Amino acid sequence: MLSYLLFMIDTLRVAFPVVTLFAAAPTFFILWLILRLITFIGVSRHSYRYYDDMLYSAYQRFVLFFFESWSQVKIYFHGDYEEIFCRKENVLYISNHQSSVDWIIVNMLAIRQGSLGHIRYVLKSDLKRIPFYGFYFEQHGCIYVHRTDKKDLDRVEKGMRQIERNGLPVWLVVFPEGTRYNPEKNPEIIERSRQFAEKKGNETKRNANHHPHALNRFAGVSPLINHLYPRMGATVAAINALKDKLDAVYDITAMYYPTYDNHRRVRLGASSMIEYLQGKTKELHIHIKRIPINSVPSESNEQISDWLYQRFLIKDKLLERFYDPNRNDSHFDSNGKSVRAQSTFNLTIFAAIFFLLSTFLLVIIPQYRSFYVKMISSPNHVGNDEDDKCVPRAAVHKMIKDCTRQIRVSSDAKEFFVQCCNEFIHTLALQANTVCEQQTKKLVHPDHVITALEKLGFASYRPNCLDAMNKAQTELAQKRRKLHRKSTSIYTDEELRQQQELLFQQAREEAQQVEEDDWTRTQEMSKEVLRKKIEASRTDDDNYDD
């Protein structure tokens, strides 16, 4: 009984913030619509931006209440935290990217400076289609970019200039990696990043050979171990467009504990937002480096790119020290400045109460309740990287149904099966990738997967897996042969030859008929001309007789 009670308490501790945050999104959107209608007439755009920042700050305080005061995670600040908390300023915020919680870290720092409402993000374009937030972030001044569109620089610079024209304080947040560094779920992205870094290094070395007297800071470029190779475009555009407005660059390095397996000596993925609320992250370490904007080299785009890469090299070494098993838990930074974060309960509790009551009052009204049901129940799969990487639920549900025909399976159990499948595949893929690297191969083969199964303790499944693989390869080969042999015509070769001869004969007959018609027409025209000449001669003779 006690264990069940503890289980229910733990479940509620996670479920309550998740449900509350999800349900409060329409409330925030309704409040913003009311604000927009009130300020639409007779209020300057600058004033609207000011009140919009206040509303955004209140909502983010509500969100932050659950991630700081509600959760049990220990938060530590390292580096220049005293400098950034003592005054408000306009900043470019660059950070490594491991988890969706990285967005919350921005709030954790901004609220302690009093700049929570001034946050603007550079976001990937997929997020633009998220209900509520996608539309709101665009009007709030955030900038959407296509990560694969090289022509996006003009759009980014235009958004930067609009931020400058607003005349309000700004925290412009950029995650230069563009994608989360997650060795468990994105090993292929990490490998592509390393290959790109190696290619970049080879190119710059060749350039250095052609120009030996030029200073090339990139000549020794090497793949980053704990980060993806940074994308330079947004950071370059931000510094070029806003260097006269910005006071400093905040270089943030987020470190989640535990995210390292000392047994296997491999990195683990950082917790998602829900996992963070579940307590899977025990400690969150945030390293802060404040860099005055005047000290950032910005005479050319290449200088800014070189500077950003050097910052990520420093981040990489910082994470190496963080994952060192012999480090001091509180003083791994070289300057030794660390502090346990003080609670922000007094700064967030009133916003939490306000949004909880607002949501409750709106839900109890029938008209708003129906609106809530429609909006919250609307499907949202756009831009969700996690759903794109899940095992198809329909396939798993069908397998469960085939195996349990005599009993019913609850929806929670089905979802648990799906999550188990995802976790198993991610673990197996990571182990197979490790086996492939140990054998110095560049491509994962079926043999690597079999070896990974054995190392994970599933050696007894080897015969069944081999049989399944052989069966799949046989079926695939048969399909390919069948497709190769498949005729593209409904006629036999003899029938096709007969039709060809018939078409040729018809063509010859048509050509002969055309020639005959032309000859007949020519003869008739000649006869007509001759007849007219004869009639003309007869007329002349008649006149002569007169």
The string of pLDDT tens digits covering residues 233-282 is 889 888 988 888 899 999 999 999 888 777 777 788 888 898 898 888 99
In 3D space, the residue among 195, 208, 206, 296 whose CA is nearest the CA of residue 244 turns out to be 296
For residues 436-452, give the mean pLDDT.
Answer: 84
Question: Burial, 501: exposed, middle or buried (Cβ in 10 Å; 0-12, 13-18, 19+)?
Answer: exposed
For 324, phi then psi, to 5°, come to -70, 120
CA distance 320 to 145: 31
Q: What is the DSSP string of 62-123?
A: HHHIIIIIIS--EEEEEESHHHHHSS---EEEEE--SSTHHHHHHHHHHHHHT-GGGEEEEE
Residue 382 has pLDDT above 50, yes or no: no
Question: Distance of CA 468 to CAs 192, 455, 460, 462, Å?
Answer: 30, 20, 14, 10
Q: Please check whether residue 75 is in contact with residue 68, taking contact to mean a CB–CB distance below 8 angstroms.
A: yes
In 3D space, the residue among 316, 147, 303 whose CA is nearest the CA of residue 239 turns out to be 303
Residue 385 has pLDDT above 60, yes or no: no
CA distance 176 to 185: 19
For residues 168-183, give the mean pLDDT.
Answer: 90
**Predicted pLDDT of residue 113:** 94
CA distance 270 to 258: 8
Q: Please check whether residue 358 is in contact with residue 27, taking contact to mean a CB–CB distance below 8 angstroms.
A: yes
Residue 104 has pLDDT above 90, yes or no: yes
Q: 500 vs 216, which has greater pLDDT?
A: 500
For residues 517-544, give the mean pLDDT.
Answer: 71
**Predicted pLDDT of residue 371:** 65
For residues 29-37, give the mean pLDDT.
Answer: 88
Long-range contacts of 10-19 (CB under 8 A, 24+ apart): 13/70, 13/277, 14/274, 14/277, 14/278, 17/66, 17/70, 17/277, 18/274, 18/277
Residue 53 has pLDDT above 90, yes or no: yes
**Predicted pLDDT of residue 134:** 83
For residues 199-209, give the mean pLDDT.
Answer: 65
Question: Distance of CA 200 to CAs 208, 212, 221, 222, Å?
Answer: 12, 18, 7, 9
Query: In which band, very low, low, confident or very high, does the pLDDT at 213 lie, cut at 50, 70 and 90?
Result: very low
pTM beyond 0.75:
no
Which spans in 408-445 are helix H?
A: 411-438
User: Which region holds residue 114: left if phi is over 0, alpha if psi is between -120 and 50, else beta?
Assistant: left
CA distance 173 to 329: 28
Chain Cα centroid distance, residue 499: 57
**Predicted pLDDT of residue 377:** 56
Query: In which band, very low, low, confident or very high, does the pLDDT at 436 lie, cut at 50, 70 and 90?
Result: confident
Residue 388 has pLDDT above 90, yes or no: no
Domain boundaries, the chain: 1-181+226-325+336-352, 189-221, 392-488, 490-527
**Predicted pLDDT of residue 336:** 63
**Predicted pLDDT of residue 545:** 45
Q: 110 vs 369, which has greater pLDDT?
A: 110
The helix (run of H) or strand (run of E) holding residue 148 is none
Which of 9-18, 65-74, 130-139 is modeled with the greatest confidence? 65-74
Question: Distance of CA 95 to CAs 76, 150, 230, 259, 339, Å?
Answer: 16, 22, 10, 17, 20
Query: In which band, very low, low, confident or very high, does the pLDDT at 349 lie, cut at 50, 70 and 90?
Result: very high
**Predicted pLDDT of residue 251:** 96
**Predicted pLDDT of residue 338:** 85
**Predicted pLDDT of residue 78:** 92
Residue matched to tokens 């012999």? 326
The CATH number of 392-488 is which of 1.10.20.10, 3.40.50.720, 1.20.900.10, 3.50.50.60?
Answer: 1.10.20.10
CA distance 308 to 296: 9
Query: In which band, very low, low, confident or very high, does the pLDDT at 54 lie, cut at 50, 70 and 90?
Result: very high
Residue 379 has pLDDT above 80, yes or no: no
Query: In which band, very low, low, confident or very high, does the pLDDT at 217 lie, cut at 50, 70 and 90?
Result: very low
> Could you confirm whether domain 1-181+226-325+336-352 is CATH 3.40.1130?
yes
- SS3 of residue 352 by DSSP: helix
Q: What is the DSSP string of 234-252?
A: HHHHHHHHHTTT--EEEEE
| Segment 300-341, tens digit of pLDDT | 888 999 999 999 999 999 988 888 877 655 455 656 678 899
Residue 290 has pLDDT above 70, yes or no: yes
Query: In which band, very low, low, confident or very high, does the pLDDT at 99 lie, cut at 50, 70 and 90?
Result: very high
The distance in angstroms from the start CA to the end CA of the chain is: 144
**Predicted pLDDT of residue 528:** 81
Query: In which band, very low, low, confident or very high, does the pLDDT at 7 lie, cut at 50, 70 and 90?
Result: low
- SS3 of residue 359 by DSSP: helix
Q: Please check whether residue 435 is in contact with residue 452, taking contact to mean a CB–CB distance below 8 angstroms.
A: yes
Q: Strand pairing partners for 94?
A: 174, 251
Residue 492 has pLDDT above 90, yes or no: no
Residue 216 has pLDDT above 70, yes or no: no
In 3D space, the residue among 341, 343, 336 whose CA is nearest the CA of residue 286 turns out to be 341
**Predicted pLDDT of residue 380:** 45
